[in-house]
Chain A
Amino acid sequence: MRTAEILSILRLEVALDLRQRAAWGGMLLYVISAIYVCFLAVKGGLGVATWNALFWIVLLFAAFNALARSFQREDQGRQLYLYTLVDPRSVVIARSLYNAGTMVLLSLLSLLFFLLFLGGDVLEQANIPQFLLAVVLGGIGFAAVLTLISAIAARAGNGLGLMAILGFPLVLPMLLAVMRASKLSLDGVAWSVTSTYFLGLILLDVITITLAWVLFPYLWRD
């Protein structure tokens, strides 16, 4: 694993995504449609707890949709070629980072659309930096768990269905912790209370990425 390798894979991912803009457009459209459905279903007037729950549910499904592509867009042969060029560990770290970036961007965009459609009343008492931190850490956490799961599902030759089955129970710890943290930050609770949650989230993120780094080399071999 080398920094140069990781950087060049990151460049490759960006180039691929720029070339297939439809994929990003699809992801965005998915999120916007989901938020619009929420808007139609609840017709405004949401309490903080419900707003928070809807926001994270939409993000969770968006994450599954977005990250499933991670290891499925190239065929086996191309992947094998990639692994002979660079250390597989670089690949999984680069993809985790790239997916984390994708998720952070997607989370912030969904937050924008949530505020647009469902109103910004919930942010009245909120501690905004805390909430943004929760969104960013949550996005990174989803990406960290789902990158390896996406690789396993792709290797098993079974797409989104298997990924959902394998991923849901594993994302739950992250989801519960981040929903709790974001609820508290929306209520405007002080840092001294929420810092435990943020430290817990960071710990979960770090452990998950380390596990992916340790386990991935066993995954790609046939």
Chain B
Amino acid sequence: MKHWWWKFLAVALLLIASIAGLWVPLSPALVHVSPSRIVPGEVVIDVTGYNTRFADGMRTYLVNDSQYVCPIRVDVIDATHARIVAEVPAGMRASMTDLIVQGMTYPGAFFTDSLGEGIESGACAPTPSKLDLTGLAFAFPNRSILYESIRNLFFHVPMWFTMIALMGISVWRSIKGLGSNSLDHDRAAVSAVHVGLVFCGLGLATGAVWARATWGAFWTNDVKLNGAAVTALIYLAYLVLRGSIPDAYKRARLSAIYNIFAFVLLVLFLFVVPRLNAIDSLHPGNGGNSGFNDLDLDNRLRVIFYPAVAGWVLLGVWMVDLRTRAARLTEQMDR
């Protein structure tokens, strides 16, 4: 029991993170507004929400440069659909008008024509305490483009964390193996690479699906994606190198040297080269896209994300441990 506790911890963390990650609802948001352009006169606006609870009498208004346009009529069709009729005045100041329904903002909802010196602000202005979060206690952020796919954060990102951790373990065992004459370290190093490649494959698969959903293509020419491809190639080459050397001790030494050399260059490639051309990346955390620090990874995501990372890393270490022991037993039986 003393040595097992972390395996129970891994399972518990993974279960919590996966179940909560899939179960927790997205916070309500406006996902679609039509038309996209308003001209002075009576305008009929169709609003579609997601996870919303539209109800009669909900507070609805248009905002243009902190001046408000109040609707004439709001018809609630169901909990996620509503039709708003408003009399749009001429002479608004800003070229984009936001729509606000039940405290949820759809920023830049309308291109606005007939700009001017400003209008008389409507009386439906909100009270300063604007937190009108429609009663959902714990929910994930509902971001346009990402929507439900934001849950992939708990699966895609931990794959890469785990892979880097396992490759780090592998290179650590390779360094120790070069200084000693036993094959133990070599067995652990190659097991870590095998398991790391599994996580690399899972990271690529989850990433490709996510990229298709958000960027429109399974694969793009992006520094992060190139880094992932190079990582896969390096460790597949490592396995090819091992396969081409029959002598166990020579294999251990040569592959350890390649492992160390490749890992250092890989770290440079993943963490230094992207800094050199940081401007042209779509991936969060690169090229002006917000990483998961400022907006996206708010505390509601962090609560699930960190247990997910810890759980997957521990699971990876456990898998390496099992593989190493199995390899040692196989060798003993062959002897």
Contact = CB atoms under 8 A, between A and B. Distances in A.
A173 B241 contact: no
A16 interface: no
Contact of A155 (B233, B237, B240, B250): B250
Nearest to A216: B257
11 contacts: A155-B250, A156-B244, A158-B244, A162-B241, A177-B273, A207-B268, A215-B260, A218-B178, A218-B257, A221-B253, A222-B250
A26 B104 CA distance: 71
B251 to A, nearest CB: 9
Interface of B: 178, 226, 230, 233-234, 237, 240-241, 244-245, 250, 253-254, 256-258, 260-262, 264-265, 268-269, 272-273, 276-277
By DSSP majority rule, is chain A's interface helix, strand, loop, or mixed? helix
A162 B257 contact: no
Given A200-B273, A203-B272, 6 more contacts: A152-B258, A156-B241, A158-B244, A173-B230, A218-B178, A219-B254
A68 B178 CA distance: 25
Interface of A: 145, 148-149, 152, 155-158, 162, 165-166, 168-170, 172-173, 176-177, 180, 196-197, 200, 203-204, 207-208, 211-212, 215, 218-219, 221-222
B234 A169 contact: yes
Residue picked from A149, A156, A158, A180, most chain B C-beta under 10 Å: A156
Nearest to B247: A222
B254 A169 contact: no
A169 B257 contact: no
Given A172-B230, A172-B269, A208-B265, A177 B276 contact: yes
Contacts of B261: 148-149, 170, 211-212, 215
A189 B70 CA distance: 53
Contacts of B241: 152, 156, 162, 165-166
Given A156-B244, A169-B234, A207 B258 contact: no
